[in-house]
Amino acid sequence: MTARDGAPIRIAASVLAADFARLGDEVHAVDRAGADWIHVDIMDGRFVPDISFGPAVVKAIRASTAKPLNVHLMIVEPERVLERYRDAGADHLLVQAEPGSTVHLHRVLSQVRALGCKAGVVIDPATPVAWIEHVLHLVDIVLVMTVNPGYGGQAFLPEMLPKIAALRTLCRERGLHPHIEVDGGQDPRTVRQTVEAGADVIVAGTAIFGQPDYAQAIAAMRNASS
C-alpha cells in the first residue's frame, strides 16, 4: 500500500465515471468507501473534444464531501477561471503544460499558488517531461496522463511507464517531492506497474464506479499496489 519511495498510495475517484443523475450520492459513496481525493475533470470542448462540468457542479460536489477536490482543468486559458474554481471549493488546481492550453505556464502555476490552492501540472502522452522541468519547483502535483485526455474508459498506455520513472528520478535528483498522479486506464491489473514506476496517486473512474462495491474496488487497487 505504499509507493516506491515509501509514501502511502492515494486513490482519487474520478466522478467523470459516476452516475450524474445521482452525483451527490455517488460522491458520498466513494468518500465512505475510502477514496482519498475526489478527482474532477473540467472539459471545455476546445482543448479536448468533450464538455463536462463547470464551477456550479464543483460547488455541488464540494457540498457532498470533505475530501480534497483534485480539479483537472482540461481547458483553454485556465487563467481566466482559476479563481472561480477556487471559490467553488477546489483544493487542487491542475493545468495542462501544453501551449494549446496556456502559453504562460509559469505564471498560471504561480497564480494557483497565490489563490491558496495546491498547484498541479499535467502532461499528456506525447508531452515530454522536459516541458515541465523548469516549473517543477512550483508544483505540489504532477499528473501524467496514461491515455489521451477527453473521455473516460480508455485503455492504459504502457509506454508511459518510462516517463513516470524518469519524472520520479528527476524530482529525486532535485530534492523535490511532488505527488506523481497517474490518470488513464487504471485498475488492479495496471496499478502495480504504475506505482512501481514511481506514482503515488492513482486516478480511477470506471474501475470504481463501474463496480458494484466501491469499497471493494478501492481496496483491490490498494492491494494491487503493494
Rounded Cα distance between 19 and 21, Å, is 5
Residue 183 assigned to a binding site = yes
Rounded Cα distance between 65 and 18, Å, is 15
Residue 89 assigned to a binding site = no
Residue 152 assigned to a binding site = yes
Residue 39 assigned to a binding site = yes
Rounded Cα distance between 183 and 123, Å, is 10
Residue 151 assigned to a binding site = yes
218 and 33 in contact (C-beta within 8 Å)?
Answer: yes
Is 41 an active-site residue? yes
DSSP secondary structure of 61-106:
HHTT--S-EEEEEESS-GGGTHHHHHHHT-SEEEEE-STTT-S-HH
**What's the Cα-to-Cα distance from 67 to each of 20, 64, 110, 123, 219, rounded to whole Å?**
19, 9, 24, 24, 17
Residue 41 assigned to a binding site = yes
Residue 185 assigned to a binding site = yes
Is 183 an active-site residue? yes
Catalytic position from the list 41, 124, 187, 200 = 41
Neighbours of 166 (CB within 10 A): 15
Catalytic position from the list 44, 124, 183, 187 = 183
Rounded Cα distance between 15 and 26, Å, is 8
Rg over alpha carbons for the chain, rounded to the nearest Å, is: 16
Rounded Cα distance between 190 and 206, Å, is 13
Residue 85 assigned to a binding site = no
Residue 206 assigned to a binding site = yes
Residue 184 assigned to a binding site = yes
Closest CA to 40 of 59, 31, 53: 53
- Which of helix, strand or coil describes residue 217? helix
Residue 187 assigned to a binding site = no
The catalytic residues are 41, 183
Q: Specify binding-site residues for substrate.
A: 14, 72, 150-153, 183-185, 205-206
Q: Specify binding-site residues.
A: 14, 39, 41, 72, 150-153, 183-185, 205-206
Q: Specify binding-site residues for a divalent metal cation.
A: 39, 41, 72, 183
